[in-house]
Structure 1
């Protein structure tokens, strides 16, 4: 809130605080970059659902919940917020969503506190009763200036109220000591002026105190409630014939500000990895790597950088905490570059993958210039195809139009065919049928997608376990024992053959089951948050090899 606007509000009364408080908060994303909200697509029992949860502008505030029932007979859907801290015992009863049209239900759900939270959906109907848990981060993420017109209107209202109050105090002071039959006199006017002066002084003191309190509340909000991503310190250094990436979490300020604190010993593996790091070279977005740094200690993660060309890279690292809180840590690094050689060291993680492709072809400052990415027609709709490193092709299926609309929910479908055009079977990659990373050309939007949606499977598992826990307050286990047990689990996974590893991962993530009717396809639900040019990396596995397809698309603001 700007100082000039603070000066414009000296006459506001306490009754207007709720409106003012609501106007200074605005939504943003915490777990990813530039993509607010959570999208979930999954099968639960006889129901196939597509769920969208948009976080509130205000905490306390309301989240918008939309549920599309794609399959199954539903009579009623209830929704309630569940916080990790208080669990099922501290959660309210379900609010019933409104049926807007066939198969579509909507409702507003109050999130009353900041922290790691989830939305529990309860479905009832002829096809049975089922429960779905959607992890949602309930955090204040921005400060919004009050609109100028609103500030002027409230200031005028406050000034009018102050003038009226001073007048009433002055009149009461004069009339209170005047007998009914006493004639008007010059002294009466003086008493009224004295009363008005005293009233004005008292009101000035009250309003000065109120302003001081409000300014203090704004500062507390900015310093302690406003979400700030955890800072990291990254470095690249030569090591054993390759380049070593080090990501160190910056703990500066942890002791002075509770909002900055993270329980760093309580990081959970998400589909078998403690950290997923994506590197993308700017400005062409032509070099890409998906790495899984190993944990050296509670603060430091390390990975070998593969044979990537030299340049400046954007870094996005996803981590999940025991509470279900997810974060994307970001930075920019410079890589000296190296050419692939037969004697190059093996990757530091067996599931690391990378690709060097053609540049996106968008010059700096020309993000608004239209371009087309379709080079084929699939079933009468625009599509795109790309040759993969093993000779097969990946095809973007069922693309509704060449240029997509921002804010519209899409299911992005991709299929793989061999050199003869025949469908080929895909293998699980880290316990699921595929991964995708989407990046806007300027790096301001990033998302790590899975077939079940935009959320973390580890976060979902954390909340499902918390709902089953009857304790009102969660008690963390010993930090050293927890960290050591997680490190042993991750190290063991890395030694297992792919089939055994995927079987173990899928058993630990039953809620992410998202089987495709055809085993050469993978799909991802997503809504592009704003207009621009985007690059999509789609990763699948075939014959033990991770294959990466690259697709570009333009997104425009929808016509009103």
Structure 2
């Protein structure tokens, strides 16, 4: 088992992609004026590179859609001109194209829609980092090497001939002096060409070394369960060993809250994915974060912690954690934050075999329902025995019902009407979804502020002052009554506006939709979270995803 977990951790660290894990594509569902828009951006794994952009406009009459990159460092003033997206033949309201991402770091794609209903813009955060190195095919390398050697010899012989054979008149033969001059010039040419090749090789090696230095390296952290005041505490300490200050700097002091929390942490027991917790560790210092540990069953857990930098650069910190049985009974639940929650459910490979208890739910699948612990339930629209297709964009639609089968209108939870965590069975894919999409709302807000800023170069705040101001803001949020806090978060994130007649903005109904594209085939578990009667409820669904060629 230890060897198995080591392999999982190695796999997670090798695929840990900036925001989320193993799922680099970004989806956004938004209302841009009268246009209801679904945007999908697939960033490149090498920078500079091209990101694939797809836009689907559900209503209105769009005539032109364009896209341009905006980098946090240079802002709107330093952004290039927009490139048009091409209409998809036979696809009403669908546009596709590419956008070049030239700068490493926090980036975004600004979408401009022009049509009969006017001109609207929206911005979708994109983390632009290099995560791969391209290797030359062996056959091509051998071929280019042979051609290069021939050109090298041809250059030397040509220079030698230019001072000997090339100067002969018809019928003349080379003299000893000219032969000597030819060999001298060929020797000089050999030295000069060799120096040129050496200089080019050194330049290339230097450039490649610099590129490798800028390859994205995920944050490392050590997680543990510690005892504090007769209760168990989850603790995360970020590891700064061998930290390159040029790349990271003081970023940990300039984190910004997302959905009112400085960190979102998910713990999922492996290998069955049969225990799940969503907690929000508080910042104790720049490197240490802590939260009360839920009453989770003992076992090995995959840990995913989401943070967002001031620049809008979102990252997921990955680790594994062993939770042992408590040494003595403790009232752990009383110490949990009202926004923290956990459940246990049936193992992925043994459906229906879940121990009964207060926080136990039974997994469903597409077309079936999952009952929450208060008797309300969710139905995932779809066919239960039909696999989904990898790489295809989906709207994951869930209908919510009260225990008496009447439609249920969920209450806001951390400023959203629903949250979902998607995980592949081996943990190699993890993503935290919202009805707005798979991007960080805090990152979107950062870019909106940056665009309104006319500075050509981003101004970085003083780390200590900024951290203190964020901590005061978080303390103020925590002291608010729940309803006031949720209204504040909804309006702060710009997703909804609260009026006397209710909420406006994104749809508020009994259906919650999450736009997502499963990156690869496999077995997945989806943890759905809503809020009802001021209680956070969590359900679980399983689904199989297949490669398009096998369907």
Q: Same fold (TM over 0.5)?
A: yes
Q: What is the aligned partner in structure 2 of residue 320 from structure 1?
A: 308
Which SS does the other structure have where 2:509 is aligned?
coil
Bigger drift between 148-157 and 385-394 goes to: 148-157
- Report the TM-score when normalising by structure 2: 0.88
Structure 1 residues 518 and 108 mapped into 2: Cα distance closer, same or farther (>3 Å)? closer
Which SS does the other structure have where 1:160 is aligned?
helix
Q: What is the aligned partner in structure 2 of residue 7 from structure 1?
A: none
- Tell me if structure 1 keeps the 8 A contact 2:34–2:117: yes
| Alignment partners' CA distance in 1, 2:458 and 2:247 | 19
- Cα displacement (A) at 1:186: 6.2
Bigger drift between 464-473 and 395-404 goes to: 395-404
Q: What is the aligned partner in structure 1 of residue 233 from structure 2?
A: 244
Structure 1 segment 84-233 matched on structure 2, within 5 A: 84-101=72-89, 102-175=92-165, 178-180=167-169, 183-185=172-174, 187=176, 191-223=181-213, 225-233=214-222
| Alignment partners' CA distance in 2, 1:278 and 1:28 | 15
Q: What is the aligned partner in structure 1 of residue 67 from structure 2?
A: 79
- Cα displacement (A) at 1:192: 4.0
Deviation sequence 1:305-357 (CA, Å, 0-9, x none):
11001111110000011111100011111111349978435234220011011
Q: What is the aligned partner in structure 1 of residue 437 from structure 2?
A: 453
Structure 1 residues 262 and 537 mapped into 2: Cα distance closer, same or farther (>3 Å)? farther
Which SS does the other structure have where 1:481 is aligned?
helix
Deviation sequence 1:137-156 (CA, Å, 0-9, x none):
11111223222233223223
- Cα displacement (A) at 1:497: 2.2
- Gap regions ≥5 residues in structure 1: 1-25, 364-372, 377-381
- Cα displacement (A) at 1:92: 1.2
Question: Is 1:54 matched up with 2:38?
Answer: no
Structure 1 segment 20-35 matched on structure 2, within 5 A: 29-35=17-23
Structure 1 residues 222 and 297 mapped into 2: Cα distance closer, same or farther (>3 Å)? same
- Cα displacement (A) at 1:258: 1.6
CA root-mean-square deviation: 2.5
Select 1:422's aligned residue among 388, 397, 406.
Answer: 406
| Alignment partners' CA distance in 2, 1:455 and 1:466 | 17
Q: What is the aligned partner in structure 2 of residue 444 from structure 1?
A: 428
Deviation sequence 1:334-381 (CA, Å, 0-9, x none):
111349978435234220011011111179xxxxxxxxx9978xxxxx
Q: What is the aligned partner in structure 2 of residue 294 from structure 1?
A: 282
Bigger drift between 286-295 and 100-109 goes to: 100-109
Q: What is the aligned partner in structure 1 of residue 57 from structure 2?
A: 69
Structure 1 residues 214 and 28 mapped into 2: Cα distance closer, same or farther (>3 Å)? farther
Which SS does the other structure have where 2:338 is aligned?
coil
Which SS does the other structure have where 1:270 is aligned?
coil
Select 1:393's aligned residue among 377, 380, 397.
Answer: 377
- Tell me if structure 1 keeps the 8 A contact 2:16–2:318: no
Q: What is the aligned partner in structure 1 of residue 500 from structure 2?
A: none
Q: What is the aligned partner in structure 1 of residue 10 from structure 2?
A: none
- Gap regions ≥5 residues in structure 2: 1-13, 352-361, 498-503
Structure 1 segment 261-410 matched on structure 2, within 5 A: 261-338=249-326, 343-361=331-349, 383-399=367-383, 402-410=386-394
- Cα displacement (A) at 1:401: 6.3
- Report the TM-score when normalising by structure 1: 0.87
Q: What is the aligned partner in structure 1 of residue 534 from structure 2?
A: 544
| Alignment partners' CA distance in 1, 2:443 and 2:62 | 27
